[in-house]
Amino acid sequence: MSGYLPIALMLVIAALIGLISISVGFLIRPRKPEKVKLSVYECGMPEFSDARQRYNVRFYVIAMLFVIFDVETVFLFPWAVSFDVLGLFGLIEMIVFIIILVFGYFYAWKKGALEWA
Amino acid sequence: MLVELIFVVIKILVVITVLLLGVAYMTWLERKVIGHMQVRLGPTHVGWKGLLQPIADGLKLVAKEDIIPTMVDKPVYIIAPLLSLIPALSAFAVIPFTNATVNLFGTEYHLYITDVNIGLLYVLALSSVGTYGIIMSGWASNSKYALLGSLRSSAQVISYETAMGLSLIGPVLLAGTVSLKGITEAQANGFWFIVPQFVAFVVYLISAIAETNRAPFDLPEAETELVAGFHVEYSSMKFAMFFLAEYANMYVVSSIATIVFLGGWNGPFGPSFIWFILKIVALMFFYLWLRATLPRLRFDQLMTLGWKILIPIALVNVVVTSIVLYAIN
């Protein structure tokens, strides 16, 4: 585990640096809050509605496709590392796996999940 | 054990300091290089050739008023910049930048922070965590520009992350390990993976630029339509942290490109970290050159490039590499 202790330390120190740099200006910076200054930016217009409205469903579709493809990528990494050990069986198995994925990919393409017109 | 612990902390502090200085002077280099490419001078007033400009900018940002709008979701609003910066800095825990060792009380210690056998996966995982910072900042800001910017930005980052991961499979097949030190050592004979994996290198480089939201893929920031994207409501140090995270991420993706494709610390002569830094600076200069050259893509073009061009190329590259590798062995 000794290789992972420095990573934990790095995370802690990075978090500390973030927290310190957020709070260090607290002592020297001005604080003059004002109603207009504290409203959200809308090109100088008074804000007229909450920003959290419905948004395009395509972002959601992209997120789902990402989960599928990224999990598949993660499957490929251990296969790539032990490629020498697995031999022909591993090669054919992974090509079958990729072909199945490519079917799903073209299905998503034909369904228009990748179109942004 | 105690000596080792103290040494690790010192290494971490040195790496983070160098990284933050690198980020600061990257902004100077960016303004200078793009200035000269557009026949301007860039910053000249603060210090010799404007060399103190990044320091002045940093001080200015610390001393600025921290405006937190009334409508924001305050805890999420404050956590979001931290969640961008921490993964960007922490990725450097596994980057092997030199093979030099130092002898402390009779034991040899290496100068990079650590090497784990899942190094590449760790960096990819952290770059995914960074996406949360973008989504959370856009959502918490409760501003239409911020929300649109963060949606675009997260869709862009996750799309290109897939292509990025797939393009790294080829070199991993050749190296037989995902330890970044192992990948560097696999190229020690001078046969860098950019030669057999040139297609993967191009796919990686394009994805890396998109992943860090750099021009020509800087849609989240598109000043002309989205004003500044997800960090429009941020000011003072919180804005600076998004800025630091973006530039630190550029260093992360450049380091990975250097290690995986350009031979890492390997060079014909001289100390190893010089070569590592030279390769990173060359890649960084390439990013600036791109920014000065190419216009911004439209969002549908960006998604088409990612999903319909880069991912198929990367998949074909994986299959071809594995078949060729099997045939050779």
Q: What was the ipTM of the complex prediction?
A: 0.86
The mean predicted confidence, pLDDT, of chain A is: 82
Cβ of A6 within 8 Å of Cβ of B113? The answer is: yes
pLDDT at A107 over 70: yes
Does B38 map to a domain?
A: no
Residue B202 pLDDT: 92
Count of residues making up chain A: 117
The DSSP bridge pattern shows strands B101-104 and B107-110 to be: antiparallel
* Greater pLDDT, B98 or B35: B35
Residue B223 pLDDT: 65
Q: Which domain holds residue B243?
A: 67-98+116-328
Measure the CA dihedral B115/B116/B121/B127, to 10°. Answer: -50
* Predicted TM-score of the model (pTM): 0.90
* Greater pLDDT, B2 or B25: B25
Instruction: For B177-194, give one letter per residue: b (16+ CB within 10 A) or e.
Output: bbbbbbbbbbbeeeebbb
Does B170 map to a domain?
A: yes
Cβ of B12 within 8 Å of Cβ of A10? The answer is: yes
Tokens for B241?
A: 């942290």
Residue B222 pLDDT: 65
How many domains would you assign to chain B? Answer: 1
Give the separation between CA B210 and CA B306, rounded to whole angstroms: 9
pLDDT band at B192 (very low <50, low <70, confident <90, very high): confident
Kindly state whether A80 is in contact with chain B, defined as any CB-CB distance less than 8 angstroms: yes
Burial of A112 (0-12, 13-18, 19+ CB in 10 A): exposed
Cβ of A98 within 8 Å of Cβ of B9? The answer is: no
pLDDT at B225 over 60: yes
Q: What is the CATH number of domain A5-110?
A: 1.20.58.1610
Kindly state whether B3 is in contact with chain A, defined as any CB-CB distance less than 8 angstroms: no
How many CA atoms are closer than 13 Å to the CA of A12, on its beta-carbon side?
8
Residue B204 pLDDT: 92
Contact B280, B133 (CB under 8 A): no
Does B16 map to a domain?
A: no
Does B5 map to a domain?
A: no
Residue B203 pLDDT: 92
pLDDT at B109 over 70: yes
Does B51 map to a domain?
A: no
pLDDT at A1 over 60: no
